[in-house]
Chain A
Amino acid sequence: MRGRAILLVPSGLLIGVVLVLPLVMLLVISLMQRNPNGGIVWGSFTADAYISFLWERGFSGERELNWDYVAIFLRSLGLAGSATVTSFVIALPTALWMAFQPPKRRLLLVFLVTLPFWTNLLVRNYAWMLLLRVDGLFEQILHATGLLTGRLGILYTPTATAIGLTYSFLPFMLLPIYLSIEKIDRRLLEAAFDLGADRWRVLTRVILPLSMPGIAGGVVLVFIPGIGAFISPELLGGGKTMMVGNLIQAQFGYSRNWPLGAALAFVLLALVLAATYLHRVRFRSAP
């Protein structure tokens, strides 16, 4: 037993150093007073950062409710949610189509799906700016085909942010769904046909239930990073539709409010853990 326990030391160290230690630091920071010049005032414990999430001090020093941060959280949830739904709607038929290609072509398609990862996310979001901007490619195409006469006017709106998020996270929805569909025993589909099911009911009664683990995985992989995303809202939302990620980034950057940044990060973490827990409860029996 002792000998085996020793084998766990490296992974324990790794988890301790890369996961627990930063979290503890973040927690400590969130409970300190801010130093207006950046950083924190050591040894000054206070819950100010958490309180200021909901309440701000008015001119006369009394606390007033402030819904700004809550609004940003809700917007983040909304945008991440719509990106999740949109990417699911795109990913499901694509994954279905991919999974029923000949094996060789399937490999090629998976490779193509992962192709965007070879370039930086920032660069790819800039590319979307070029596509969506005034007189950008999309506008030109719409003008040329006569579908649009005025301005597209999407760039620097929440819609652009949602498009950017969907684009960025689509592979994380597509791949798990594809993998779980591909894994389904084809004989089950034949059995369903044999028993009188048409294509639609083979899809809804056999394929979808059996790819639930992949769908759930895709939802988690898109929704959770989506909440904290900051590149797409910054570039495509034009910084006007701030998301939690931008807010946190700002606290550690120009706002110089580390405790608030850390506290916001913890609130986000709590949300994510709650979502993960619910997901666990729902799909406990999934393999």
Chain B
Amino acid sequence: MGVGDGDGGAAPGALSCRNLRKTFGGTVRALDDVSIDIAAGEFFTLLGPSGCGKTTLLRAIAGFEAQDSGSIHLGGQPLDGLPPPQRPVNTVFQSYAVFPHMTVAENVAFALEMQRKPRGMIAARVEEMLALVRLQGLGGRKPSQLSGGQQQRVALARALAAAPKLLLLDEPLSALDLKLRNEMRLELKRLQGETGITFVFVTHDQHEALTMSDRIAVMREGKVLQVGTPTEIYERPSLRFVADFIGEANLIAATRVAPGRFRLAGGEELAATEDAGPEGPVTLVLRPERARLAAPDDTEGQALTGTVDQVVYDGADTTYHLALAGGAGLRLRAPSHGGRAQARVGDGVRVRVEPAALRAVPD
């Protein structure tokens, strides 16, 4: 995925945020030196816990909040100082914010009417948009006569109607129930593919972020911690927080004794491929599905030993909670394979840990 560089020659939908800072009330750092480059046509996700500044960043891009310093460029053009109506950016709000006094069609037509487009063109475009979000035939209804999911589609069609260069989506699915949310995820991906518009999508649901995004920016306390594809973020987190926030992870305290060599609290030594950094305390990240119980006759490879504390069956997978010989806990997950557990509570087990499955992150 190419990345816009914010220069004059950038593609029309490429967004570049440079050193954005925003403070509320002198103390709350909602944005703390945020720099992000988003390529045209990318599905880019901002992911982070509540209060980390995701909404503030979107509002700065949309023009509702002026950053204290830093600049925002869209397609190489600076947006700074432009009021919201003049930015070729539209927003899908978490609460839908569909106009209750207008019909579905009037809602979708709103942005085009604001641009004083000819009536015939507006009518055709409204039909096209309603078809795109699969609301054909509902143009005459009032929003109060629609379900939550349908209202969300109206909000989407309304924001897309004027063909913005950039669509901002602030937790658009959080008000929907699980089934509808899954449906709308696919829908959003499809819409993004069909329109080719750059999407900046906000969520604090890591699963949503992993399944939908081209790239993800993980944020905390106003800072961008890591930007990368879902695979990079999940497989190669750069910080303990990222590893912990995205997916499940065993976080094992260890000491780096040499590049790629670590000693655990209980004295066991582990090796990791792909490692760099100074000697000293680190956290080892081990995804539960990357460790596996060794067969009884398997004595090869790098391994840890421990006893089974708990076995949790959840359908497709079974999770084994282990107490390592050194005292630390470890979770590992394996496919259930028809419900026959590979170990029982109290069993002593050997756990294979491939060096490629381990990743050290700074404490």
State whether the Cβ of B241 lies closer than 8 Å to any Cβ in chain A: no
- CB proximity to A under 8 Å, residues B37-67: 62, 64
State whether the Cβ of B245 lies closer than 8 Å to any Cβ in chain A: no
In the assembled complex, how far is the CB of residue A162 from the closest CB belonging to chain B, in whole angstroms? 33
Main secondary structure of the interface of A (DSSP, over half): helix
B97 to A195, Cβ gap below 8 A?
no
In the assembled complex, how far is the CB of residue A207 from the closest CB belonging to chain B, in whole angstroms? 11
State whether A187 and B93 are in contact (beta carbons under 8 Å apart), knowing that A196-B111, A201-B114 are contacts in the complex. yes
State whether the Cβ of A134 lies closer than 8 Å to any Cβ in chain B: no
Interface residues on chain B, size class: 20 to 34
What residue of chain A has the Cβ atom nearest to residue B158's Cβ? A195
State whether A191 and B97 are in contact (beta carbons under 8 Å apart), knowing that A196-B85, A196-B111, A196-B115 are contacts in the complex. yes
B62 to A197, Cβ gap below 8 A?
no
A191 to B162, Cβ gap below 8 A?
no
B91 to A194, Cβ gap below 8 A?
yes
The residues of A that contact B86 with a CB separation of less than 8 Å are: 196
A193 to B83, Cβ gap below 8 A?
yes
Interface residues on chain A, size class: 10 to 19
A195 to B100, Cβ gap below 8 A?
no
The residues of A that contact B162 with a CB separation of less than 8 Å are: 195-196
CA distance A153 to B294 in the complex (A): 106
B86-124 CB contact bits vs A (8 Å, 1 = yes)? 100111010101011100000000110011000000000
State whether the Cβ of A68 lies closer than 8 Å to any Cβ in chain B: no
B101 to A209, Cβ gap below 8 A?
yes
- CB proximity to B under 8 Å, residues A92-108: none
The residues of A that contact B62 with a CB separation of less than 8 Å are: 194
- CB proximity to B under 8 Å, residues A170-213: 185, 187-188, 190-198, 201, 205-206, 209-210
In the assembled complex, how far is the CB of residue B112 from the closest CB belonging to chain A, in whole angstroms? 9
A193 to B100, Cβ gap below 8 A?
no
CA distance A198 to B90 in the complex (A): 15
In the assembled complex, how far is the CB of residue A284 from the closest CB belonging to chain B, in whole angstroms? 14
The residues of B that contact A190 with a CB separation of less than 8 Å are: 64, 84, 91, 93, 97
B90 to A194, Cβ gap below 8 A?
yes
The residues of A that contact B91 with a CB separation of less than 8 Å are: 190-191, 194
Name the residue among A196, A201, A210 with the largest chain B CB count within 10 angstroms: A196
The residues of B that contact A209 with a CB separation of less than 8 Å are: 101
CA distance A206 to B98 in the complex (A): 11
CA distance A185 to B159 in the complex (A): 18
What residue of chain A has the Cβ atom nearest to residue B62's Cβ? A194
B101 to A195, Cβ gap below 8 A?
no
CA distance A206 to B101 in the complex (A): 8
Name the residue among A185, A194, A205, A210 with the largest chain B CB count within 10 angstroms: A194
30 residue pairs of the A-B complex, CB under 8 angstroms, read: A188-B99, A188-B100, A190-B64, A190-B84, A190-B91, A190-B97, A191-B91, A191-B99, A192-B99, A193-B64, A193-B85, A194-B62, A194-B89, A194-B90, A195-B90, A195-B110, A195-B111, A195-B158, A195-B159, A195-B162, A196-B86, A196-B111, A196-B114, A197-B114, A201-B114, A205-B110, A206-B99, A209-B101, A210-B100, A210-B101
